[in-house]
Amino acid sequence: MNLILKKDHLKHLLNAWRQDYEVYAPQSLQNFTHFLPLQDGFELAFDKAHNTRIPPKALFLPTSEALLKFTRFGGYEEVPSETAPRLIFGIHPCDAHAMTMLDTVFEQERYTDPLWKARREATVVVGLGCDEPCKTGFCTTVGSGPFNHAGLDAILTDLGEIFLVEILTDKGEYLFTQLETASEDQSMQASEVQQAAKASMPIAFETEGLKQKLDQNFASPYWEEVSRSCLGCGVCTFLCPTCFCFDIVDEAQRGERVRNWDTCMFRTYSLEASGHNPRPSRVERTRQRLSHKYSYWLDQINQIGCTGCGRCVRYCPVGLDIRAMLRKAHQLPSEVLHA
């Protein structure tokens, strides 16, 4: 069922939601946008052409968080998992889609992360489709799209004075009870906007057979070539909505066991206690990053581990573009693997 949300009614609705939820929406922070909790007198900052600088995965997996607290003289207490109801408003489909992939990591049958799970269950997600898809994005290439529904409870399409609201789950339906139903014309109009957005996005690289190329060329000089200018910083992975690696550190002075974001691009990531490092240089680290997304995720969940949000392309300090790297990978020779 499709509903109509008048734009001049939006603030009122967000404020009404604030009675029941902590509402997160994109707001300006310095020169970019960020998902922040709405306070009285809030100003939304919908930057339609871009995503928020930090992906909303940070609302579920914070850059740093304490897992438990301990004292010097023994004993510890777990940090209670956060369960207050939350609503994320205005998330772009690539970021919401990414969250469903991270669910497969943090909510595995045998190993479930209680903090992640509690936050996911307590959160309703309302998306804003991208009628002006960003130029660094390539969601349609990797199986997502500017109006993809994965991970969303409802999705909005901008139709000028109004948003067309598509309800996708019961959680979503509960949010929009007071709105009038969209006419057939309005639904048609939204569908046209969605199709046009999708059609405006070129296919950035060929995904068919890409995994095989990466696997077959594990030892190729290609990796040295594409990683040569890499600085080895964490920009691409920290700003990535599907990267989830973390490191657990005991902050003894504060008495906290902390989980911090970590990245395969760091030297220390795979450094072992013996001093051996199985990924000793940027060559192996770059291979890990690309292969994880475009090969290993496929082995695990049969999906590419990238939703094409384009942050890594836009913010790489040396202008490395994963799309160009993968176009090049696709041209690598297919070799017969020896058993």
Partner 1 sequence: MPDIDALKAEAKRILSEGMVDMVIGFKAGDTPLHPQPAFFKTPDEVDQLVYNALCQNNLATYLTRFPKNQKIGMVVRGCESRSVNALVFEGQHPKDGLYLIGVPCEGIIDWRKIVEQTGEEVFSIFEQSNNTVLVESKSGFFTLEKETLLHESCSRCIHPNPISANVVIGELLPEGDPALAREKVAAFASLSMEERHAWFRQEAERCIRCYACREACPMCYCEECFVDHITPRWTESGTTPAGMQGWHIVRAFHQTGRCTSCGACERACPMDIKMTYLTEKLNEDMRRKYNFEVGLDATTPPPFSTVTLDDKSRFVI
* Binding positions for partner 1, rule: CB under 8 A: 29-32, 49, 53-54, 62-64, 134-136, 228-229, 231-235, 238-239, 247, 249, 251-254, 258, 260-261, 263, 266-268, 313, 315-321, 323-324
State the nearest-atom distance from the C-beta of 29 to partner 1, in Å.
Answer: 7
State the nearest-atom distance from the C-beta of 316 to partner 1, in Å.
Answer: 8
Please say whether the beta carbons of 153 and 124 come within 8 A: yes
Q: Between 31 and 331, whose beta carbon lies closer to partner 1?
A: 31
Q: Between 187 and 281, whose beta carbon lies closer to partner 1?
A: 281
Q: Would you state the structure tokens that stand for residue 325, as one six-digit string?
A: 């790297």
Q: Between 203 and 231, whose beta carbon lies closer to partner 1?
A: 231
Going from the C-alpha of 318 to that of each of 128, 185, 226, 271, 287, the distances in angstroms are 31, 47, 12, 25, 17
Q: Between 30 and 302, whose beta carbon lies closer to partner 1?
A: 30
Give the angle 150-90-115 at the CA atoms, nearest 5°. Answer: 65
State the nearest-atom distance from the C-beta of 58 to partner 1, in Å.
Answer: 9
Among 33, 159, 7, 40, smallest CA distance to 91 is for: 33
Q: Between 32 and 42, whose beta carbon lies closer to partner 1?
A: 32
State the nearest-atom distance from the C-beta of 315 to partner 1, in Å.
Answer: 5
State the nearest-atom distance from the C-beta of 49 to partner 1, in Å.
Answer: 6
Q: Between 41 and 275, whose beta carbon lies closer to partner 1?
A: 275
Among 230, 229, 250, smallest CA distance to 70 is for: 250
Q: What sign does the dihedral 158-161-167-173 (CA atoms) show?
A: positive
Query: Alpha helices of 68-125 — where are they, by DSSP H?
Result: 93-106, 114-121
Q: Between 216 and 270, whose beta carbon lies closer to partner 1?
A: 270
Q: Would you state the structure tokens that stand for residue 273, as one six-digit string?
A: 């206690």
State the nearest-atom distance from the C-beta of 323 to partner 1, in Å.
Answer: 7
Among 16, 12, 24, 20, smallest CA distance to 128 is for: 24
State the nearest-atom distance from the C-beta of 268 to partner 1, in Å.
Answer: 5
Give the angle 107-108-112 at the CA atoms, nearest 5°. Answer: 55
